[in-house]
Amino acid sequence: MAEQPQYKGRPSLLRAALFGLCPKCNEPGMFVGTMSIDAVQFAPKCSRCGLDYDGFNVGDGPAAFLTMIIGTILIILAMLLEGAAHPPIWVHALLWIPLTIIGTVFALRLAKGMLLTLEYQNKAKETGRDDIVGMDNGGVDNARNDNIGKENGPE
Ligand SMILES: [Zn+2]
């Protein structure tokens, strides 16, 4: 028998990214909202299981890359439309400005959602201060420092 998950199951990578589902409990709400900047802003934590979205270090890495890809695709489409139909300039403005905004927000949401889900699934974690301090104060070092103190110290 398969191990029973604590919640109703983990969503697939694509489903989690598309609908902003929590990678741990499947609850929607990975992002603050669905409009403007809220649509690509992670919520602080999951409202159901409390998974700390702030602890993931997705950052805005995909933003510049995606914007360039979407820009290239839309410019090619605009040139094809211009060559085929030669529409007035307002048709271009009406078509490509909203498509650029929608395309960028959608792609950014998808990319950030996928990155967070992948980080969760692979248990990736940014090395924190505690990890470094822990490495610095290894038991071996402490023992050696104690011995040095005893050798050099007064009896
Ligand atoms: Zn959750």
91 lies in some domain: yes
Tell me the CA–centroid distance for residue 48 and ligand 1, in Å: 5
Residue 33: inside a domain, yes or no? yes
- pLDDT per residue of the chain (155 residues) written in tens, 0 to 9: 444 444 567 778 888 888 889 998 988 988 888 777 788 888 999 999 999 988 887 777 677 888 889 999 999 999 999 999 999 999 999 999 999 989 988 888 888 899 899 888 887 555 555 555 555 544 444 444 455 545 554 55
**Which two structure tokens, joined as six digits, stand for 142?**
């402490």
pLDDT digits (tens, 9 = 90+) for 119-147: 888 875 555 555 555 555 444 444 444 55
Asked if the structure places residue 36 within a domain, the reply is yes
Structural domain harbouring 102: 13-124
> Is 136 among the domain residues?
no
Does residue 145 sit within a domain?
no
Q: What is the rounded distance in angstroms from the CA atom of residue 99 to the CA atom of residue 26?
A: 29
How far does Cα 144 stand from its chain's mean position?
43
Ligand 1 centre distance from Cα of residue 87 (Å): 48
Strand partners, 28: 21
The answer to whether residue 147 sits within a structural domain is no
Distances, alpha carbon 112 to alpha carbons 30, 45, 77, 97, in Å: 10, 15, 26, 23
- Residues 94-103: pLDDT tens digits? 999 999 989 9
Report the C-alpha gap between 13 and 116 in whole angstroms. Answer: 10
How would you label 69-79 residue by residue, b for 16+ Cβ within 10 Å and e otherwise? ebeeebeeeee
Work out the burial of residue 5: count CB atoms within 10 Å of its CB; fewer than 13 is exposed, 13-18 middle, 19 or more buried: exposed
Residue 8 resides in a domain: no
Expressed in angstroms and rounded, the spacing between residue 124 Cα and the centre of ligand 1 is: 17
Whether 2 maps to a domain, the answer reads no
Q: Cα 154 to the chain's mean position, in Å?
A: 57
What is the Å distance from ligand 1's center to 27 Cα?
5
Q: What is the count of structural domains for the chain?
A: 1
Expressed in angstroms and rounded, the spacing between residue 141 Cα and the centre of ligand 1 is: 41
